[in-house]
Amino acid sequence: MTGLPKMLMMIGAIIFIGGFFMQFISIGRLPGDIIIKKENATFYFPITTSILLSILLSAIFYFIGRFR
């Protein structure tokens, strides 16, 4: 198995593992996340969470690319 099918299986496995760990780790609702509550609606924009995840994923992909 080479090429696209192997890459899709790897991406699926990473998403599956990430989803499994999300059950046990509460990442959202950090200070700096924007929450606007009105009468019938709530708007939630996790800007701090997005920045932290971006830094973490950038570091992971940097090290994978560096040692590959």
In this predicted model, what pLDDT tens digit does every residue of 10-61 receive, in sequence order? 888 888 888 888 777 766 677 888 889 999 999 988 888 889 889 988 998 8
pTM, entire model: 0.56
What is the rounded CA–CA span in Å between residue 20 and residue 13? Answer: 11
Q: How many domains does the chain have?
A: 1
What is the rounded CA–CA span in Å between residue 2 and residue 67? Answer: 21
**What is the domain range of residue 45?**
4-67
For residue 27, the model assigns a pLDDT of 65
Cβ atoms of 49 and 30 closer than 8 Å: yes
